[in-house]
RNA sequence: GCCCCUGUAGCUCAGUGGAUAGAGCACCAGCCUCCGGAGCUGGGGGCCCGGGUUCGAGUCCCGGCAGGGGUACCA
């Protein structure tokens, strides 16, 4: 990345200045390279002199001059200028910039990929909706965020595993099984009491009817535990199928669906708890087993095993994280959780520490809640009443691409409004279409070129990129060159919301170029070069959209 | 009460401690003999309040105010 080049140049200059005594020997400082917002300040800028001034007991301008004189030359950089009060501004060489059209094209799908995560395994766990009901919009946001985080990590060289934790154990499953059984019996015309803690959603009435239609009264005979369990298992499998289908519509897929129940059948649960116990973080009180998280900085101790002998969901989580770190040995684990679980974060950090694992290896992404609106009216999301807006409904209304774009464009930790009326009404005006339209326009130009007997993919012919000298052309290419840095930064900060904003900017740069200049029908030398430029823009747009999980339509 | 997240333009949102705070929508005014006008150009408007740290604060710290979430032997 070019940014790394600039950092290298500064580090070299700093070392030389120390060696020849122009600057005092100070401890290492980050060269503080950033992208200035004002284009007059160049492509990159460093405020290192300002930061060093105090410790060096010198004026920032003097330090800047000393460093600038010692900067090694690089072909990418045309100029490095000192600017008050003590910046060093770097400007890319225009001809070098345009040569990069060829680089982008030859790297193709790999353009934007990095190696910062090479050799590191990371697990991203997200969605993990209880298999007791459909995925609603709030879950959809977490799904989109989680999948995009996994995508940018993979693009940065990490070995990524995408996982869905299936809560198929515990008391809520019992309630679900009984609910399914009751709806099933009701569908058969039997008198069945609905459990008070049951799931009242209409989707279970449908499921009950469906199961009744398929299985008749096979599970209706004895109202014993067995038939409840059997029909319940079938119901859960159906729920999971529909959850998987809903998520696939928005390009969310998993490497593994991890069963909570398996933790109890394969011995993980016992191993995990005995490790916490042998490390001295359990205590028996009032007939229950507690995790003494307060010793590790948690707010309060928590129950692991109830007085009844049944483990809490928290005990499952300990076993699950034991498996993540000590069983499967991921270097990093990222949990994308909804805001309604935020109270659980510090406890899980404490648990990981209690297992003897560095808690820094566990990170949480807090995905804030989605407020759903239809115009002025706020739509309440409640599983109890069954009055829920499902992800599936939203996707049907606004389409998968718009759904992903909107969920991705807002940072995870701020609450967002999702106005269904607006999203639907303004669909043609959407940023989504703006970006995809840029891609379609490029595809159209390439089609026209082929019709006119020019093969854009013919790499045997030399292209003279010096033919690209227009401002809009350079601006477009500059924007493309930022892409690897956007990906890297999204991965480093686990902030995928930069991607849609970048894609929008890139589309703008292309639309601007497109309206100012013609590609086809110019002098052959110019047409050749512009065709490649447009093609390269298409490559970067496609790479960006792919990371976002959005489609790349060649025609709209 | 305590803990967490958020307060930036009329609305929805960006903004790795840097140099004149950006988009979209909405509003107003312009641009099609030419590769797709789902496009382009221009305009008005903004950092919740008060302290502090810093050469420099929308960004960090403290205290308010406001909105949301959490605070179970539920998940």
- Supply the pLDDT for residue A297: 81
Cβ of A409 < 7 Å from strand B?
yes
What's residue A454's pLDDT?
A: 86
Regarding whether A302 and A234 lie in a shared domain, the answer is no
| Residue A128 in tokens | 């993990």
pLDDT in tens, A66-80: 999 999 999 999 999
Does A381 reside within a domain?
Answer: no
Compute the radius of gyration of chain A from its Cα atoms: 29
Domain of residue A81, CATH code: 3.30.1360.70
Task: Say if residue A323 is exposed, middle or buried (CB neighbours under 10 Å; 0-12, 13-18, 19+).
Answer: buried
Task: Please check whether residue A114 lies inside any domain of the structure.
Answer: no
Query: Across chain A, how many H-helices and E-strands are there?
Result: 19, 15
Cα of first residue to Cα of last residue in chain A, in angstroms, is 34
Identify nearest nucleotide to residue A418 by CA to C1′ distance.
B12
pLDDT, tens digit (0-9, with 9 covering 90-100), for A347-388: 999 999 999 999 999 999 999 989 888 766 777 654 444 456
Are A236 and A272 in the same domain?
no
Q: What is the CATH number of the domain that holds A330?
A: 3.40.50.620
- Cα within 13 Å of Cα(A321), Cβ side: 30
In this structure, the answer to whether residues A441 and A495 fall within a common structural domain is yes
Q: Are residues A159 and A289 in the same domain?
A: yes
Report the alpha-carbon distance of residue A175 to residue A383 in Å, rounded.
13
Cβ A373 to strand B below 7 Å: no
Comparing every residue's Cα with the C1' atom of nucleotide B14, the nearest one is: A501
Please say which residue of A199, A221, A249 terminates a domain: A249
Nearest residue: Cα versus C1' of B35: A445
Nucleotides of B under 7 A from a protein CB: 2-7, 12-26, 34-41, 54-56, 67-75
Please indicate, yes or no, whether residues A146 and A262 belong to a single structural domain of this protein.
yes
A118 touches strand B (CB under 7 A): no
Whether A296 and A359 share a structural domain: yes
Beta pairing partners, A335: A125, A364
What pLDDT score was predicted for residue A221? 66
Rounded, the Å distance between the CA of A63 and C1' of B49 is 39
A231 and A130 in one domain?
A: no
> Which pLDDT score is estimated for A397?
86
Report if residue A556 sits inside a domain.
Answer: no
Q: Are A214 and A87 in a shared domain? A: no
Strand B contacted by A343 CB (< 7 A): yes
Chain A 151-170 contacts with nucleic strand B (CB below 7 A): 167, 170
Domain total in chain A: 4
What domain range includes position A486? 430-548
Residue A519 CB closer than 7 angstroms to strand B? yes
Query: Is A88 within 8 Å of A82 (Cβ atoms)?
Result: yes
Whether A452 maps to a domain, the answer reads yes
Does A312 contact strand B, using a CB cutoff of 7 Å?
yes
pLDDT for position A385: 46
CATH number at residue A484: 1.10.730.10
Residues of chain A falling short of pLDDT 50? 382-386
Which stretches does DSSP call E strand in A251-354? 256-259, 282-285, 288-291, 302-305, 332-338
Structure tokens at A333: 């684990």
Note whether A323 and A306 are same-domain residues.
yes
Residues 218-277 of A with CB under 7 A from strand B: none
pLDDT at A104: 96
Question: Is residue A376 a part of any domain in this protein?
Answer: no
Q: Is the CB of A128 under 7 A from strand B?
A: no
Q: Name every residue whose Cβ is closer than 8 Å to that of residue A24 and which is 6 or more positions away in sequence.
A: A18, A55, A56, A57
Last residue of a domain, one of A249, A270, A292: A249
pLDDT for A387 equals 56
Say if residue A154 is in the same domain as residue A271: yes
| Residue A48, burial from CB neighbour count under 10 angstroms (0-12, 13-18, 19+) | buried
A541 falls within a domain:
yes
Angle formed at CA A492 by CA A106 and CA A55, multiple of 5 degrees: 110
Do A465 and A334 reside in the same domain of the chain?
Answer: no
Cβ proximity of A427 and A168 under 8 Å: no
Asked if residue A147 and residue A259 are part of one domain, the reply reads: yes
Strands (E), A153-206: 159-166
**A410, A370 Cβ separation under 8 angstroms:** no
Burial A218-246 (b: 16+ CB within 10 A, else e): ebbeeeeeebbbebbebbbeebbebbeeb
**Does the CB of A286 sit below 7 A from strand B?**
yes
How far is A208 from A73, CA to CA, in rounded Å?
73
Q: Is position A373 within any domain?
A: no
Task: Among A189, A221, A249, give the residue marking a domain's end.
Answer: A249
ipTM of this complex prediction, to 2 decimal places: 0.94
**CA→C1' distance for A472 and B41 (Å):** 14
Q: Is the CB of A508 under 7 A from strand B?
A: yes
Is the shortest CB-to-strand distance from A458 to strand B under 7 Å? Answer: no
Inside any domain, residue A267: yes
């Amino acid at each position: 990345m070019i940014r790394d080049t600039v950092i290298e140049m500064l580090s070299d200059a700093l070392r030389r200045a120390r060696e020849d005594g122009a600057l005092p020997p100070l401890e290492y400082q980050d060269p503080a390279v950033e992208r200035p917002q004002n284009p007059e300040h160049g492509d990159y800028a460093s405020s290192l002199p300002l930061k060093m001034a105090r410790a060096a007991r010198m004026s920032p301008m003097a330090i800047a001059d000393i460093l600038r004189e010692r900067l090694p030359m690089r072909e990418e950089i045309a100029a490095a200028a000192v600017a008050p009060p003590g910046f060093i501004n770097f400007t890319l060489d225009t001809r070098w910039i345009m040569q990069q059209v060829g680089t982008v094209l030859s790297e193709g799908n790999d353009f934007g990929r990095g190696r910062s995560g090479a050799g590191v395994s990371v697990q991203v766990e997200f969605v993990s909706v209880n298999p007791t009901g459909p995925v609603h919009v709030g879950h959809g946001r977490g799904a989109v965020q989680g999948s995009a985080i996994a995508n940018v990590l993979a693009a940065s060289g990490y070995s990524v595993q995408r996982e869905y934790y299936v809560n198929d154990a515990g008391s809520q499953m019992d309630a679900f099984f009984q609910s399914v059984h009751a709806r099933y019996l009701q569908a058969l015309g039997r008198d069945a009491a609905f459990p008070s803690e049951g799931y009242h959603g209409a989707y279970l009435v449908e499921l009950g009817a469906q199961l009744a239609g398929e299985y008749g009264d096979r599970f209706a005979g004895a109202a014993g535990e067995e038939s409840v369990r059997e029909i319940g298992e079938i119901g859960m499998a159906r729920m999971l199928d529909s959850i998987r289908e809903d998520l696939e519509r928005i390009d969310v897929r998993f490497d593994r669906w991890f069963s909570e129940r398996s933790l109890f059948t394969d011995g993980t649960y016992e191993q995990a708890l005995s490790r916490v116990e042998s490390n001295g973080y359990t205590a028996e009180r009032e007939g229950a087993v507690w995790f003494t998280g307060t010793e590790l900085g948690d707010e309060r101790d928590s129950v692991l095993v109830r007085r009844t002998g049944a483990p809490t969901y928290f005990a499952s989580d300990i076993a699950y994280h034991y498996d993540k770190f000590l069983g499967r040995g991921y270097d990093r684990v990222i949990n994308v959780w909804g805001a309604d679980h935020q109270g659980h974060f510090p406890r899980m950090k404490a648990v990981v520490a209690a297992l003897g694992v560095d808690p820094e290896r566990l990170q949480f992404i807090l995905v804030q809640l989605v407020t759903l609106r239809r115009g002025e009216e706020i739509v309440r999301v409640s599983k109890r009443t069954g009055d829920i807006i499902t992800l599936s409904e939203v996707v049907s209304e606004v389409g998968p691409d718009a759904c992903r774009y909107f969920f991705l464009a807002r940072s995870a930790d701020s609450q967002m409004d999702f106005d269904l009326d607006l999203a639907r009404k303004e669909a043609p005006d959407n940023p989504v279409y703006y970006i995809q339209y840029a891609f379609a326009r490029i595809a159209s130009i390439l089609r026209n070129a082929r019709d006119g007997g020019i093969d854009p993919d013919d790499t045997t012919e030399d292209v003279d990129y010096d033919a690209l000298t227009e401002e809009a052309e350079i601006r477009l290419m500059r924007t493309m060159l930022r892409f690897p840095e956007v990906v890297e930064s999204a991965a480093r900060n686990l902030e995928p919301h930069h991607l849609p904003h970048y894609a929008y900017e890139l589309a703008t740069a292309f639309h601007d170029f497109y309206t100012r200049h013609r590609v086809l029908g110019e002098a052959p030398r110019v047409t050749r070069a512009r065709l490649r430029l447009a093609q390269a823009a298409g490559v970067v747009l496609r790479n960006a959209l792919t990371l976002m999980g959005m489609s790349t339509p060649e025609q709209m």
